Amino acid sequence: MSDEVLLTPEHPLVVSPGPHLHAAESTAKIMWWVNGTLAPAALWGAFVFGPKALVVIACCVAGAVAAEWGCCAGMKRRNTVSDGSAFCTGLLLALTIGAQVQWWQALLGGAFAVLIGKVIFGGLGFNLFNPALVGRAFMMATFPLAMTSGWISPRPWFSLAPDALTTATPLNVLKEHGLAAAVKVVTSPEGLWNGLVLGFRPGSIGEVSVVLVLLGGAVLVARGIIRLWIPLSVVAGTALATAFTGAAGLHLLSGGLWLGAFYMATDYVTSPTTRNGQVVFGLIIGLLTGLIRVYGGYPEGICYAILLANTLVPALNLWFRPRRTAIAGSPS
Amino acid sequence: MSATATHGSVKTFGKGGIHPGPNKGMTSGKPIEDIPPPKEVRLPLVQHLGEPATMIVKKGDLVRRGQKIADGGATGAPLHATISGKVKPLDRYPHPTLVMSQAIVITRTEGEGTEELEFPEDPAWRGVSREEALERIREAGIVGLGGAAFPTFRKLTLPEGVKLDTLILNGAECEPYLTSDYRIMLAHPVEIVEGAMVMARILGVKRAIIGVESDKPEAAAKLEAAAAGAERGDVKIEVGMCQARYPQGAERQLVHALTGRVMPARALPSAVRVLVQNVATAVAVHDAVRYRKPLLDRVVTVTGPGIREPKNVRVPIGTLLADLVAFGGGFHKGVTRVVAGGPMMGRSLPRLDIPVIKGLNGLVLLTGVSPFEGGYGPCIGCTRCVEACPLGLEPDQVSVRVEAGRQLETEPFGAIDCYECGCCTYVCPSSRPLVQFMQVAKASLRRAGELRIRK
């Protein structure tokens, strides 16, 4: 082979500035990892609450994805459905609501979450609020009855019992009837373990299995997708705010606390960018969650706690700067 | 005199940095090879920032390898013929960083009058005065061989009132793929230690630390042995092991790791009584003071998936990259980018009729589509860049403001301090050109500062 052949690249050389290497990570990859780690909790929800849960999940996801796709097409923008973020919004929304919600309500909720929660701000990366929680807040305002009552009783998948078998969630009981009643519920036949840990209890589809939510969160931490600062401070804040009620343990094990702490509060776009900011953000969420649960009109508080804390993120980003390794004019 | 070289514990800088997969295995086991003398060398009059050198030979002159052919004046470094041959008329040629620049071209001729100049040892070299040593370093045309290429005699001439206590030799070589410094440390540990002592005497410091990354234990062992065996006077030479982590070889990071001292923002290492020189520069300093030998060659790592036989090559300065690629067996199929320097901070070149300049430490040939070719997405606020920045800056906040045309609002996020290591861009899952956003912000902030001063 002649020198000339050896020296001629087949294509023109690309001129570009450094760096010329890139970590094997992409936004889509991160989003699909999040979706993947949510799958066990979602499937468990479907197992506990029956086919209706699957319908709700499918409709939320379909609504969210359709909204994303429609907006991209309508605005003639690059189609961003494949980045997995709309799917993630739909899935997260489904996990925060009960299986008793109607399919069309779920569809609307998913679409609202993406449209109003994300697209009108400019799309992925520009929204101020967690889109899934925007969707949930919308559904709470629009379909309050369906969202807060008629909780489907947990039951085996193949049971022939009618769907009408409804009950109250542990937090409902705590809110309405006080600590003693709630303790009776969770220590009753279903038991602490079955009810609060395994998830055989009424509640939102994705929150009932604390174990599976924690497992998913642990994978995200191990994979370097999220840091523990936010979840830990959320849980610490909630424990702090509910400690005086004597029901901190119950608060920590029920409701959507873990799903919120690991999957909503850690949303990259709507959380602070520095570690100290993240800790303060998490504590605020935890404290607000406790306050809303104890004094608020709803038994659950994490959704609004996160949405409220989202409004503080731009300020937290300004107040908490990373420590620079070079301090102006201060030789050691 | 007892040996004082110590291993110590593995040290590193405060925060940030990345582990970009070293890829050094392609060439780390390969000793330095000499390239056959090229048919032609092109020596750009500009080898570094500052005053260009002035040609002191005429077209048609026969020059001998080692002969001075251009002088650098008070601020620049002189240039020497790196092969023996005939001088062509001065003209403009492609340059690795300036696009085009004036270069002296020598075409190789052999025969009488073109024998290589010889550089016999000066038996009294250890006893030369500071001034004489500096003059020999200047005459040899030595510039920093780590990449920045600042004239070494100027760096070693301390401004009035500056007092140092430590000389650091940079053998960290943290860029992926590059192994030229590593092979130099293996091949010339004694010259590195001697060069360090020459520089320590010039600077009047009693302590020199050779910083080596912990993935190069053989180099550290050889340097330690050399340091232990050297006649050191009262200069203490140590080998400091640093964590293998990019950008460990950046001055600010290396100084922090080895001395625990934090350089103030926008300051030189002298602010914390330290001066940093590359290990290859130390070898050149040794050669210059001991033999009055000018800087004629440098070691370049020619590597990457796009070259047939990756190598560490000693080449005469001015050798065309095409000769270097040919010596490496030519391209593998699918070459898309030829990067001058390391893949993190180097820039890719459009052509190969470009000469090796004094500051070039590697040529990395990459295949496939550039990871940034597909465009970039929005900032998703993942904070990876904030965590990766070794300076504690916020590339995310800077980038969104630059995108919005609000460069002047990036001041609180530290764009002005960015030294462009590229860690942020490497980790960004949205493939955002964060380091380029930092550059834009930095330029705007500087310009605004200048305007303020003028008013």
Write the DSSP assignment of A279-310 as a string of letters. HHHHHHHHHHHHHHHHHSSSS--HHHHHHHHH
How far from the centroid of its chain's Cα atoms is residue B311's Cα?
18
Interface test with B, best of A14, A15, A21 (most B CBs within 10 A): A21
Please, which residues have CB within 8 angstroms of residue B289's CB and are 6 or more apart in sequence?
B122, B125, B128, B133, B136, B137, B195, B198
Residue B47 distance to chain A (closest CA, Å): 20
Quick check: B390 and A30 CB within 8 A?
no
For A7, which residue in chain B has the nearest alpha carbon? Answer: B330
* Contact (CB, 8 A) for B388 and B424: yes
Quick check: A322 and B426 CB within 8 A?
no
Identify the band that residue A166 occupies on the pLDDT scale cut at 50, 70 and 90: low
pLDDT above 70 covers a percentage of chain A that reads 87
Residue A159: what pLDDT?
54
Identify the band that residue B372 occupies on the pLDDT scale cut at 50, 70 and 90: confident
Identify the band that residue A156 occupies on the pLDDT scale cut at 50, 70 and 90: low
Strands, E assignment, chain A? 151-152, 166-167
Interface test with B, best of A72, A77, A124, A325 (most B CBs within 10 A): A325
Q: What dihedral angle (degrees, nearest 10) is formed by the CA atoms of A129, A132, A137, A143?
A: 160
The residue among A95, A99, A90, A98 whose CA lies nearest residue A60 is A90
Whether the pLDDT of residue A109 is over 60: the answer is yes
Identify the band that residue B2 occupies on the pLDDT scale cut at 50, 70 and 90: very low
Residue A249: what pLDDT?
79
What value does the CA radius of gyration of chain B take, rounded to a whole number of Å? 22
- A122: chain B residues, CB-CB within 8 Å: 378
- B326: chain A residues, CB-CB within 8 Å: 3, 6-7
Q: Which amino acid is at B147?
A: G
Whether the pLDDT of residue A331 is over 80: the answer is no
How far from the centroid of its chain's Cα atoms is residue A237's Cα?
18
Whether the pLDDT of residue A192 is over 70: the answer is no
Q: Which residue stretches of B89-245 are H helix?
A: 130-139, 152-156, 180-187, 189-203, 217-229
- Tell me the longest C-alpha to C-alpha distance in chain A: 89
* Contact (CB, 8 A) for B243 and B11: yes
What does the pLDDT look like over A235-254, one tens digit per residue?
999 999 998 887 777 888 87
Quick check: A21 and B391 CB within 8 A?
no
| Tokens 């199929």 belong to residue | B333
* Contact (CB, 8 A) for B55 and B73: no
| Tokens 């399919």 belong to residue | A103
Whether the pLDDT of residue A327 is over 60: the answer is yes
What's the start-to-end Cα distance of chain A, in Å? 60
What does the pLDDT look like over A266-290, one tens digit per residue?
999 999 999 999 999 999 999 999 9
How far from the centroid of its chain's Cα atoms is residue A36's Cα?
13
- A131: chain B residues, CB-CB within 8 Å: none
Identify the band that residue B4 occupies on the pLDDT scale cut at 50, 70 and 90: very low
Residue A313 distance to chain B (closest CA, Å): 11
Average pLDDT over residues A201-229: 92
Helix H or strand E segment including B52: none
Average pLDDT over residues A129-149: 94
- A331: chain B residues, CB-CB within 8 Å: 261, 263-264, 267, 271-272
Average pLDDT over residues B246-263: 92
Average pLDDT over residues B289-306: 96
Angstrom distances, CA of residue B83 to CA of A243, B48, B63, B109, B292:
82, 21, 8, 9, 17
Rounded Cα gap, residues B339 and A324, in angstroms:
31
pLDDT above 70 covers a percentage of chain B that reads 96
Q: Which two tokens stand for residue B53?
A: 């050198």
Quick check: A330 and B322 CB within 8 A?
no
Quick check: B430 and A322 CB within 8 A?
no
What value does the CA radius of gyration of chain A take, rounded to a whole number of Å? 23
Residue A148: what pLDDT?
85
* Contact (CB, 8 A) for A76 and A31: no
Phi, psi angles (nearest 5°) of residue B347 = -120, 150
* Contact (CB, 8 A) for B16 and B390: yes
* Average pLDDT score over chain A: 87
For B15, which residue in chain A has the nearest alpha carbon? Answer: A325
More confident residue, B277 or B347: B277
Average pLDDT over residues B38-47: 93
Query: What is the model's pTM?
Result: 0.90
- How many other CB atoms are there within 10 angstroms of residue A69's CB atom? 15
Phi, psi angles (nearest 5°) of residue A84 = 80, -5
- How many other CB atoms are there within 10 angstroms of residue B375's CB atom? 10
* Contact (CB, 8 A) for B329 and B307: yes
Rounded Cα gap, residues A184 and B304, in angstroms:
68
B454: buried, middle or exposed (CB in 10 Å: 19+, 13-18, 0-12)? exposed
Q: Which two tokens stand for residue B443?
A: 């330029």
Residue B5: what pLDDT?
34
Whether the pLDDT of residue A187 is over 70: the answer is no
Report the range of poorest mean pLDDT among A131-135, A145-149, A270-274, B55-59.
A145-149
| Tokens 């009058």 belong to residue | B113
Whether the pLDDT of residue A4 is over 60: the answer is no
Whether the pLDDT of residue A41 is over 70: the answer is yes
Q: Which two tokens stand for residue A163?
A: 């769907």
Residue B306: what pLDDT?
93
Rounded Cα gap, residues B289 and B435, in angstroms:
40
Angstrom distances, CA of residue A318 to CA of A86, A272, A310, B59:
29, 9, 14, 62
Phi, psi angles (nearest 5°) of residue B316 = -65, 135
Whether the pLDDT of residue A188 is over 80: the answer is no
Residue B15: what pLDDT?
81
Of A20, A321, A331, the CB nearest to B366: A20
Rounded Cα gap, residues B19 and B169, in angstroms:
22
Average pLDDT over residues B406-431: 93
Q: Which residue stretches of B166-320 are H helix?
A: 180-187, 189-203, 217-229, 251-259, 279-291
Quick check: B377 and A7 CB within 8 A?
no
What does the pLDDT look like over B180-197, one tens digit per residue?
999 999 999 999 999 999
* Contact (CB, 8 A) for B101 and B153: no
* Contact (CB, 8 A) for B263 and B255: yes
Quick check: B265 and A328 CB within 8 A?
yes
Average pLDDT over residues B332-355: 92
* Average pLDDT score over chain B: 91
Average pLDDT over residues A302-324: 94
Rounded Cα gap, residues B151 and B138, in angstroms:
8
Quick check: A23 and B386 CB within 8 A?
no
Residue B200: what pLDDT?
95
pLDDT above 90 covers a percentage of chain B that reads 75
Q: SS in 3 state form for A96-134?
A: CCCCCCCHHHHHHHHHHHHHHHCHHHCCCCCCCCCHHHH
Residue A185: what pLDDT?
64
Quick check: B372 and A16 CB within 8 A?
yes
Rounded Cα gap, residues B60 and B55, in angstroms:
13
Whether the pLDDT of residue B7 is over 90: the answer is no
For A324, which residue in chain B has the nearest alpha carbon? Answer: B392
Q: Which amino acid is at A165?
A: L
Quick check: B378 and A7 CB within 8 A?
no
Identify the band that residue A18 occupies on the pLDDT scale cut at 50, 70 and 90: confident
Residue B285 distance to chain A (closest CA, Å): 29
- A21: chain B residues, CB-CB within 8 Å: 20-21, 176, 343-344, 371, 426
Residue A323 distance to chain B (closest CA, Å): 6
- A322: chain B residues, CB-CB within 8 Å: 15, 386, 389, 392-394
Rounded Cα gap, residues A309 and A234, in angstroms:
11
- B370: chain A residues, CB-CB within 8 Å: 14, 16, 20
* Contact (CB, 8 A) for A21 and B343: yes
A162: buried, middle or exposed (CB in 10 Å: 19+, 13-18, 0-12)? exposed
Rounded Cα gap, residues A20 and B347, in angstroms:
8
Identify the band that residue B74 occupies on the pLDDT scale cut at 50, 70 and 90: confident
| Tokens 């390239």 belong to residue | B35
Average pLDDT over residues B229-246: 86
Residue A161: what pLDDT?
53
Identify the band that residue B291 occupies on the pLDDT scale cut at 50, 70 and 90: very high
Identify the band that residue A171 occupies on the pLDDT scale cut at 50, 70 and 90: confident
| Tokens 């300049």 belong to residue | B357
* Contact (CB, 8 A) for B366 and A18: no
Quick check: B334 and A326 CB within 8 A?
no
What does the pLDDT look like over B126-163, one tens digit per residue?
999 999 999 999 999 999 998 788 999 999 999 999 99
Rounded Cα gap, residues B281 and B273, in angstroms:
20
Of A10, A13, A122, the CB nearest to B349: A13
The DSSP annotation for B388-437 comes to H-TT---HHHHHHHHHTT-GGGGGGGTGGG-----HHHHH-TT---HHHH
Whether the pLDDT of residue B3 is over 50: the answer is no
Quick check: A30 and B429 CB within 8 A?
yes
Of A124, A271, A328, the CB nearest to B264: A328
More confident residue, A190 or B98: B98
Identify the band that residue A332 occupies on the pLDDT scale cut at 50, 70 and 90: very low
| Tokens 């449209």 belong to residue | A115
* Contact (CB, 8 A) for A13 and B338: yes
Quick check: A7 and B373 CB within 8 A?
no
Residue B274: what pLDDT?
96
Residue B357 distance to chain A (closest CA, Å): 19
- B389: chain A residues, CB-CB within 8 Å: 322
- How many other CB atoms are there within 10 angstroms of residue A191's CB atom? 14
| Tokens 């410094």 belong to residue | B181
Of A273, A323, A326, the CB nearest to B265: A326
Residue A193: what pLDDT?
62
Q: Which amino acid is at A167?
A: T
Phi, psi angles (nearest 5°) of residue A166 = -115, 165
Rounded Cα gap, residues B229 and B222, in angstroms:
11
The DSSP annotation for B271-303 comes to GGTEEEEEHHHHHHHHHHHHH-----EEEEEEE
- B346: chain A residues, CB-CB within 8 Å: 18, 20
Residue A186: what pLDDT?
62
Residue A38 distance to chain B (closest CA, Å): 19
